[in-house]
Structures are given as C-alpha cells and as structure tokens.
C-alpha cells in the first residue's frame, strides 16, 4: 500500500542516474506529509482516506465472497442457502434489508425465499413474515419488474416498488417502533445465469446508493455473480429432487399397471384356453372319424379349423407363460435329465414337418459323453422345440442340423439351418417380445414373435444363455443355448424351487442381449 501514497507530491527526475531508493518507514511518510504545504497535505489526506475506505470494502468483500463460497458448497436446499446468503450479505455489508426472491418470468411471478437484516430486531420480524408471503405478480412491484426485465441493477426510493406489501408493512412497523428510517433507498440486482433470470437480490439501506464508491459497485457485481451461481446450483439440485421423486412415483404406478396387466392377461388366457381345448378335441375327433366318415369337401375345412385352433392355443400358452414370468408365478420342476435324449426325440417328432417341406432334418450324435443337466423337462423341451421348429419354418430349402455337445462345464444345444438368415441389425431385436424380423409376418403369417422371448427367459432361469448367429440374409442361421451341466458351479439342484421373476420392462429392455 505504500505505493498508493507515494507519488502524489514527489516528481521523479527521469534523467537522474538510477539510485537504489531506500523505502521510507510510515513515521517518515507522516513526517513528509506534515512538512508539505497545507493544500497538498489536504489532498494527500483525502486520498489516503479514500484508499483506506476502499481497502475496508475490499477486505469485507473478500471475506464475504469466501463466506458465500462456503455457503454454496455446504448447502443444496434453495431456501436454506438463500437465507444464509442474505444473512451474510446484510451483516457483512451492513444493509438494513437484504432479500432474495425467485422469479418465474413466464408466469410473471416472484416468490420471496429469504430476508435478512443487519438490524437484529428487523431481521427477527422479517424472517417471521417472509415464509407467510404469497407469490406476487411482478407488476405489483414495478421497480423490481424493471430490474427483472432489463437484467441490470435498478434503484428505487420507494419500498413498495421493490418489496411485497406484507414485507413493506413489516419494515415500516419496525421503523416506526425504532423511530428511525432504516431503509429508504433500495437497489435491485437481477440474479442471472446464462440468459436465464433466476431471481432478484434486493438491498435496502438508509444511505443513498449514489454515495457508494465505484469499488462498492464492483464488489456487489462480484457478489451477485457468486450468488447467481449458488442459486443456479441449488435450483438444479431442487429440480433433480423433484424429477426423481416424480420418476419414483411414475415407476410405482407402472409396476402396479404392469401387475394388473399380467393378471388380466392370465385370467383372460385361462378363460380362452379352456373352450379352445374342447374345440380342438372335438375337431380331432371329427377328423379321425369318431362321428362317422367325412365327405371329401369337409376335410380341408376341418384341417383349417384344426390348424387355427392349434395356433390360438399356442398363442394363449405363450401369453400365459409371459404373464407368469412377469408376475413371478412361473415355476420350474427340476430334475436331472439327458438333454441328448430329449433332442433326439424332438427331431423324431418334427421329422414329418421337415419332410413336408422337403428339408433334411438330422440329429448329430455327440462325439464324447454329454453329462445330464438339471432342468424342467417340459420347459427345456419347449425351448428346443421352438428352435428346431423355427429352423424348419424359416428354411425354404436345404437342411436343418441339430447338435448337442459338452463345452467345459456347459452343455451346448444348437440348431443350424440353411434358411432365411438374419441381418446384423435384426439380431439385436430377435429376443424382444413380439419381434418378428426379415418379413416373417409376410411369408409365415402364423408366427407371434413370442417364442424366442419366452425361450430366453426360461434358459435364463436355468442359469444358461441363448445364442444366435447368422452370416446375413439368406445365409442360414444357428440358434442355440448353453446350460450348466449337473454338479457344476452354476447348475441348479434337483428339487430346488426356482421361479422366474422378470419384470416386464427389464425383460423387454434386455431382450436384445446375446
Ligand atoms: P415366431 O416364429 O412365432 O414369429 P419367435 O419368437 O419364435 O416367433 O421368432 C421370432 C422371429 O425370429 C421370427 O418371426 C423370425 O423372424 C425370426 N427367426 C426365428 N428363428 C429363425 C430362423 N431359424 N431363421 C430365420 N429367422 C428366424
């Protein structure tokens, strides 16, 4: 600071050889000032006074900025943070009223969040009033509105142009009690972040802001920057809290809806399945001639009826499985089984379908021994049948080969065909609910797109995985599953109660996993 006082009355001789000047002590400075002519002495004293005042403001501002920084780091709740901020500003900078209000420009409204005062009596009264104040329309306080609209600091000598009616009354009441005007001059500083106006900082005091130094104004803009940032952070945190609470509520609602949907599906499917099974039974009896010989023209009609009934029963069974899976009521009856044997039997059962399409369907005996796996016989059969049946359905010509082999602790079942194949993009969608790809719905109308989805959930519950690969359209595909062999770490145990509990959304979202 010595440099600030020094050059006022000593002119430097620029031509003089550079000497190392000795620094004067404060006592020497004072002596020099005393010895100087009186006018100069007055000027220097004024300058010193000004610099000292600036220094005081600078120190106060620095302390306040540090405090505001701490407040912004320690608190996330808007109300709490705003209160600490106005308390700090009012007490450190000596304002009779310091208030923060949040502004909603679209709704043309503002809401008082915190008020503080350097005067303890006023502070107590205002803090009691602020939480009770309703939101106000911006037009009710025209000076504040001007600050919000222009985005620049605005002055007013009329409290009612700045604060809500309730607050003005409270201020005036305390002023009357204390018999001194506390806050005749106000300044409003818009709190902005980017091009968004978040709120307003209003400061009131008995001294006029016109007397404030340039430095005081600069300090205030520094403070406003920090307050705006703190408010913005708190607002984001507040919005996040609200959004996540809304999300949790929406999630609960969805879960309830999902349960209701699964229950409805289950009830509806049961009600449909019973009459359909009877229908199919009677159609079979008619076809087999139990009610007398059929006329030739009746046969194709009954054949269509039979196929339609089978399709409907398959669809209902799949829907029932899904509703059981998604509501956690899908149970597995676990036993130790020879998967090779099951595969062989299934190939035998489906051979007529392959022959009908002039396809080669072949089961390849495994090279080495394949151990048993602990599975639900009916469910694993369902998965294997789906893979082989699909290969036959989606292979116009060529062959379908079925393999079972052991790979380490796993048993691999796979079906390889020379059929329609699957593109890379379609592979991602295959195991999703109702997903049919490659125009399957056009050339194979009876599919539902549910078989693979159900298969994946069943295999998953056996602690296994489904797999699919294809070189692309018309290049055939290979569908398969890996199951843990009996006794391996991942294997289920015979008699163990396992139930599939897969939330609808989760299952749908993971549908594309391979
Ligand atoms: P669906 O056969 O009833 O349509 P799936 O869930 O069993 O239902 O199969 C879903 C879709 O996957 C099928 O519609 C078909 O597009 C495709 N897909 C399944 N298996 C094959 C296969 N072997 N070759 C080509 N596409 C297949």
Q: Does 22 reside within a domain?
A: no
Give the mean model confidence (pLDDT) for residues 25-49. 76
Structural contact between residues 356 and 395, judged by C-beta atoms closer than 8 angstroms: no
> What percent of the chain stands above pLDDT 70?
89
Report the alpha-carbon distance of residue 514 to residue 422 in Å, rounded. Answer: 14
Q: Does residue 258 lie in a domain region? A: no
Is residue 507 within 6 Å of ligand 1 at its C-beta? no
Q: In what order do the strands lie in the sheet with 154-156?
A: 136-137, 109-116, 97-104, 196-205, 185-193, 154-156
Report if residue 26 sits inside a domain.
Answer: no
Say yes or no: CB of residue 419 within 6 Å of ligand 1: yes
476 lines ligand 1 (CB under 6 A): no
In a domain, residue 8? The reply is no
- Cα(99)–Cα(131) distance, integer angstroms: 12
Instruction: Label residue 499 by pLDDT band (50, 70, 90).
Output: low
Domain boundary among 234, 261, 284: 234
For 227-244, the pLDDT digits (tens) are 898 888 888 888 899 999
Q: Is the CB of 420 under 6 A from ligand 1?
A: yes
DSSP category for residue 415: E
Residue nearest to atom 11 of ligand 1 (CA): 436
- Highest-confidence range of 32-36, 213-217, 378-382, by mean pLDDT? 378-382
DSSP reduced 3-state for 196: strand
The answer to whether the beta carbons of residues 417 and 391 sit under 8 Å apart is: yes
Point out the ligand 1 atom lying closest to the alpha carbon of residue 440.
Answer: 16
CB–CB of 110/103 below 8 Å?
yes
Most confident of 68-72, 167-171, 209-213, 307-311: 167-171
- How far is it, in rounded angstroms, from Cα 113 to Cα 290? 86
CA–CA separation, 443 vs 474, rounded Å? 14
Name the pTM for this structure.
0.53
Domain that holds residue 219: 47-234
359 and 487, same domain (yes or no):
yes
Residues 352 and 215 in one domain: no
Residue 391 CA to residue 400 CA, distance in Å, equals 7
CB atoms within 10 A of CB 394: 21
**511 C-beta closer than 6 A to ligand 1:** no
DSSP secondary structure of 10-28: ----TTSPP--PPPPPHHH
* Residue 71 covered by a domain: yes
pLDDT digits (tens, 9 = 90+) for 98-147: 999 999 989 999 999 999 999 898 899 998 888 888 899 999 999 999 99
* Domain C-terminal end among 171, 204, 234: 234
**d(Cα 479, Cα 109) in Å, to the nearest integer?**
63
Whether residue 268 lies inside any domain: the answer is: no
Question: Which stretches of 341-408 are assigned E, i.e. beta strand?
Answer: 360-364, 373-376, 399-407
Give the pLDDT confidence score for residue 328 in this predicted structure.
75
Q: Residue 252: inside a domain, yes or no? A: no
Which of 313, 434, 440 should be mutated for ligand 1, with most atoms under 8 A from CB?
Answer: 440
Which residue, among 472, 441, 467, 446, has the nearest Cα to 456 in the 3D structure? 467
**Per-residue pLDDT at 437:** 81
pLDDT single digits (tens) 282-296: 998 998 889 999 999
For residue 431, give the ligand 1 atom closest to its CA. 6
Whether the CB of 437 sits within 6 Å of ligand 1: yes
Task: Check if 431 has its Cβ closer than 6 Å to any atom of ligand 1.
Answer: no
- Report pLDDT digits (tens) over 163-189: 999 999 998 888 888 877 767 899 999
Of 333, 402, 411, 342, the C-alpha closest to 373 is: 411
Distance from C-alpha of 187 to C-alpha of 208, rounded to nearest angstrom: 10
Higher pLDDT, 403 or 95: 403
Q: Are 470 and 477 in contact (CB under 8 A)?
A: yes
Tell me which of 382, 390, 474 to substitute to probe ligand 1's pocket, judged by most ligand atoms within 8 Å of the beta carbon.
390
Nearest atom in ligand 1 to the alpha carbon of residue 387 is 20
> Atom of ligand 1 at shortest distance to CA of 386?
7
pLDDT digits (tens, 9 = 90+) for 408-436: 999 999 999 999 999 999 998 898 888 88
Name the residue of 316, 429, 436, 448 to mutate for ligand 1: max ligand atoms within 8 A of Cβ: 436
Q: Is 452 in the pocket of ligand 1 (CB under 6 A)?
A: yes
With a CB cutoff of 8 Å and minimum separation 6, the contacts of 139 are 108, 145
Instruction: Look at the chain and report how many structural domains it folds into.
Output: 2
Task: Check residue 179 and give its pLDDT.
Answer: 76
Does 394 contact ligand 1 (Cβ within 6 A)? yes
Please identify, by atom number, the ligand 1 atom nearest to the C-alpha of residue 390. Answer: 20
Cα(187)–Cα(204) distance, rounded to whole angstroms? Answer: 6
Helix, strand, coil content of the chain in percent (nearest 5):
55, 20, 30
Task: Identify the pLDDT of residue 217.
Answer: 78
How far apart are alpha carbons 312 and 272 in whole angstroms? 9
Q: Which of 234, 257, 284 is the last residue of a domain?
A: 234
For the stretch 52-85, pLDDT in tens is 877 887 888 888 888 888 888 887 788 889 999 9
Tell me, in angstroms, the distance from the centre of ligand 1 to residue 463's CA: 23
DSSP string, 269-294: HHHHHHHHHHHHHHHHHHHTTTTSPP
Residues 351, 468 share a domain: yes
Q: Whose CA is nearest to atom 10 of ligand 1?
A: 449
- CB-side exposure of 20: number of CA atoms within 13 Å? 0
For ligand 1, the distance from its centroid to the CA atom of residue 437, given in whole angstroms, is: 7
Band of the pLDDT at 46, cuts 50, 70, 90? confident
Q: Within a domain: residue 259?
A: no
Q: Which helix (H) or strand (E) holds 136?
A: strand 136-137
Cβ atoms 303, 319 nearer than 8 A: no
**Are 204 and 342 part of one and the same domain?**
no
């Amino acid at each position: 600071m010595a440099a600030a006082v020094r050059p006022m009355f000593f002119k430097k001789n620029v031509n003089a050889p550079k000497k190392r000047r000795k620094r004067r002590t404060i006592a020497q400075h004072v002596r020099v000032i005393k010895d100087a002519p009186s006018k100069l002495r007055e000027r220097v004293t004024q300058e010193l006074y000004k610099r000292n005042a600036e220094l005081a403001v600078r120190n106060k501002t620095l302390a306040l900025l540090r405090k505001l920084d701490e407040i912004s780091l320690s608190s996330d709740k808007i109300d709490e943070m705003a209160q600490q901020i106005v308390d700090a500003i009012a007490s450190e900078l000596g304002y009779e009223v310091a208030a923060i209000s949040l502004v909603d420009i679209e709704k043309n409204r503002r809401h008082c969040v915190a008020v503080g005062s350097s005067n303890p009596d006023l502070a107590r009264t205002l803090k009691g009033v602020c939480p009770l104040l309703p939101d106000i329309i911006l037009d009710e306080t025209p000076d504040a509105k001007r600050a919000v609209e222009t985005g620049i600091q605005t002055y007013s000598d009329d409290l009612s142009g700045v604060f809500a009616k309730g607050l003005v009354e409270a201020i005036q009441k305390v002023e009357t009690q204390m018999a001194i005007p506390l806050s005749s001059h106000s300044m409003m500083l818009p709190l902005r972040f980017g091009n968004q106006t978040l709120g307003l900082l209003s400061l009131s005091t008995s001294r006029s802001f016109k007397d404030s130094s340039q430095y005081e104004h600069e300090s205030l803009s520094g403070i406003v920057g920090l307050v705006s940032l703190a408010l913005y952070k708190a607002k984001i945190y507040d919005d996040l809290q609200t959004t996540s609470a809304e999300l949790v509520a929406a999630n609960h609602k969805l879960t309830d809806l999902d349960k209701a949907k699964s229950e409805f599906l289950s009830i509806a499917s049961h009600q449909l399945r019973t009459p359909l099974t009877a229908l199919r039974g009677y159609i079979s009896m008619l076809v087999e001639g139990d009610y007398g010989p059929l006329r030739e023209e009746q046969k194709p009609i009954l054949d269509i009826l039979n196929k339609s009934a089978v399709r409907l029963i398959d669809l209902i069974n799949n829907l029932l499985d899904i509703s059981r899976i998604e509501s956690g009521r899908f149970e597995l009856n676990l036993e130790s089984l020879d998967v090779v044997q099951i595969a062989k039997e299934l190939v035998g059962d489906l051979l007529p379908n392959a022959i009908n399409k002039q396809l080669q369907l072949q089961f390849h005996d495994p090279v080495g021994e394949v151990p048993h796996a602990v599975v639900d016989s009916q469910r694993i059969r369902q998965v294997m049948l789906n893979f082989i049946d699909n290969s036959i359905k989606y292979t116009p010509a060529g062959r379908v080969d079925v393999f079972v082999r052991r790979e380490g602790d796993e048993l691999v079942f796979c079906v390889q065909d020379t059929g329609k194949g699957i593109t890379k993009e379609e592979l991602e969608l295959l195991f999703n609910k109702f997903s049919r790809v490659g125009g399957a719905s056009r050339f194979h109308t009876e599919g539902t797109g549910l078989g693979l989805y159900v298969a994946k959930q069943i295999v998953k519950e056996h602690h296994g995985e489904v797999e699919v690969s294809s070189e692309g359209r018309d290049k055939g595909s290979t569908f398969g599953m890996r199951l843990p062999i009996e006794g391996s770490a991942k294997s289920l145990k015979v008699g163990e109660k396992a139930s599939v509990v897969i939330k609808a959304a989760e299952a749908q979202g993971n549908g594309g996993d391979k």
